[in-house]
Amino acid sequence: MTWLRTGTVSVTAGSTAVVGAGTGFSGADADDVFFGPDGRPYQLGAVEDNTHLTLTTPYLGATGSGQTYAILKLYLSTAGLTARMEALATLYKAAADLALAGRFGDGSAAAPGIAFANDQDNGLYRIGQNHYALSVAGQKVLEIQAGKVTFWATLEPQDIVKAAAYEYVSYIRNTEPSGISAFGLKNSAGTVVGGMGYYGAGDLLLMSINTPAGAARLQSAGGAFDVMSDGTFAPTLDNLLRVGSSARRVAQLVAGTAVISTSDAREKEWRGPLSPAELAVAIGVADLIGAYRWIEAIETKGAAARVHFGVRAQDVVSLFADHGLDAFCYGVVCYDKWIGDDGVERDRYGVRESELWAMVVAAFRHGQIQQDARLSAMESRIAALEPQSD
């Protein structure tokens, strides 16, 4: 004889129904004996499942839940013994045809075909031909098809340590020469919003965006630049970020039209015309213009290095000083200092040529006004010396 006591039961006075919690009623048979919370024995009429059974006579005790009980297995029922033998034969056949032969049933996410005895909603199950999935807690987290793997769970970031310098963690490869090796991105609604990849036919590294009003953003701690949906390349912060620096200069800027600089009167504190000292500097700038070749260009191109025209920033600084002005109080001259990658301090001068030439234009205009005044005075004197006709 065997006793079943796992879990608790709920009974109702005058009812033949017994409901279990954490019970294993399926291990019992009709004609076994149920000892209820009232201590009386009752014959089992039917066992529906692990948590439901029916007595042959109504329960005589008081209604209650969470009660202890016991079932005495008699193994006296011919029908019960027959059913058990048939179930055992069926189970053995299934095991022989499947698990014992290395084959398993399809299963589902909630009940995987290959599962764990102590965690039966975790494991591997078959969705279809060449189509499988991994489930955890009854939910699909990884789907595997021919040539395709889909993640259905949130990927938690983890540190991946590599000892070798510049060694990639992993690769995405498209064996088609003109294909694209890429990974895509979706929003919370599952819509593709962009991605990054390599286009073999054009030997291009691509970063794409597929949102109507969005942008592909290049982000750093100091700010970011966006490639807008219309192709515009723009900083995220107005009038704060720069392209290039004294230490990392852009060699050449090629454009179809001239650079547009803001010149809105509402954004300027207008001081007026140049002072006499500033005009003197502007006049002197013209004398500083000369021809030159870049030393770096001579080192790389030799005699083929081209000749340019302009000024030297240090000469402009000295010219301001000669007229009692500090060049660094003006936006004409720039000076930057930095520490190079080798730890050595370096510096470099520069000029804003548009402002420099604006000063030169002002100087020429001032000279023209003076010349016009002298010419007018001379014409007046000549006119005064000429005899008057009757």
> Using one digit for the tens of pLDDT, what is the confidence trace for 279-299?
999 999 989 999 999 999 999
Report if residue 138 sits inside a domain: yes
Residues 73 and 136 in one domain: no
Report if residue 384 sits inside a domain: no
Residues 361 and 293 in one domain: yes
Residues 88 and 10 in one domain: yes
- pLDDT given at position 70: 94
Contact between 140 and 157 under an 8 Å Cβ cutoff? The reply is no
Greater model confidence, 197 or 315: 315
Report if residue 25 sits inside a domain: yes
Residues 74 and 146 in one domain: no
Residues 279 and 366 in one domain: yes
Concatenating the DSSP letter of every residue in 335-385 gives: EEEEE-TTS-EEEEEEE-HHHHHHHHHHHHHHHHHHHHHHHHHHHHHHHHH
Report if residue 202 sits inside a domain: yes
Q: Is 70 exceeded by the pLDDT of residue 157?
A: no
Tell me how many domains the chain contains: 4
pTM (2 decimals)? 0.52
Least confident range from 39-53, 233-247, 315-329: namely 233-247
Residues 292 and 344 in one domain: yes
Q: Which domain holds residue 21?
A: 2-94
Contact between 74 and 33 under an 8 Å Cβ cutoff? The reply is yes
Q: Is 80 exceeded by the pLDDT of residue 386?
A: no
Residues 124 and 203 in one domain: no
| Confidence class for position 80, pLDDT limits 50, 70, 90 | low
- pLDDT given at position 347: 94
Residues 88 and 109 in one domain: no
Report if residue 19 sits inside a domain: yes
